[in-house]
Amino acid sequence: MNKKIFFYFLFLSYFISFKVSSQKTYEEFMALGAQKSDSGDFEAAINFYTKAIEVNPKGDMAYSSRGTARIKAKDFSKAIKDLSKAIKINSKNSDAYYERALANAYYGDYPASISDFYKVIELKPYFAKAYYNMALSKGFLEDYESAIKDLNKSIDLEPDYGKAYYNRGYWKELKGDYQGAVEDHNSALEINPFFTESYISRGAAKYHSKDKTGACTDWKKAVELGSYIAEELVNQLCD
């Protein structure tokens, strides 16, 4: 073989192998996106997930992950579009439904959020956070009765879910169930003794049930934890 032809083919094979080895795979771009998202660099994460989509346009997890990164970057409109695309590719992608539910809630579309949470629960019936966040959306719509039922389920699935006790107590207070509210805040504070909002809400429930001393004790504890709201309550309502 002519030496020039031999070296030409040798160079060509080296160039092709170098080009192939230098191209990142879908999985590599996904991993890089996850690393950037975990470090809080959401724009870089979005760029890597976009590259993953370019490599594999049918990869539902790339759309789902990019949508999640866009939620964290507070770009809810684009996040919803990405998550909807992920669901279109894979209708069993429970993570995409969950993240879209959160995005819709952040966007203020609570009925759409609730609809997505129901789908999440259909796919993952033991997911306590889905019940909890669905309850929050229902709370914004003032559907407290249904929200409390969702929190009951969330607590059944995750008995140490302090925020679920807090929100259930808060809504019980709004419904006039002051004793039930106090009991839920007791549970929240057993789980987290530094839960400032729970001291404030338990104090409100006690105040409405004519236990002014107990209310002021709770609000003063919240003041110790740095709450300006509790400080105003103490100044206005406590001796």
| Contact indicator for 133, 147 with CB cutoff of 8 Å | no
Give the residue extent of every domain in the chain. 24-124, 157-239
C-alpha 124, offset from chain centre: 16
Q: Would you state the pLDDT for residue 2?
A: 52
User: Mean pLDDT in the chain?
Assistant: 91
Q: How far apart are CA 42 and CA 26, in angstroms?
A: 18
Least reliable range by pLDDT among 16-25, 71-80, 108-117:
16-25
- Rounded to two decimals, the pTM is 0.85
pLDDT in the model for residue 7 = 40
Range 225-237 average pLDDT: 96
Query: Is-same-fold flag (24-124; 157-239)?
Result: yes
Residue 212 has pLDDT above 80, yes or no: yes
What percent of the chain is predicted at pLDDT more than 90?
89
Q: 142 with 118: CB under 8 angstroms?
A: no
- The two structure tokens encoding residue 203: 């104090």
User: If you classify domain 24-124 with CATH, what class do you get?
Assistant: mainly alpha
- Quick one: pLDDT band at residue 24, thresholds 50, 70, 90? confident
The yes-or-no verdict on residue 37 having pLDDT over 50 is: yes
Question: How high is the pLDDT of residue 239?
Answer: 83
Average pLDDT, integer, range 50-65: 95
**CATH number, domain 157-239:** 1.25.40.10
As a whole number, mean pLDDT of residues 233-238 equals 96
The percent helix, strand, coil of the chain (3-state, each to 5) is 80, 0, 20
pLDDT score of 17: 40
What pLDDT sits at residue 6?
42
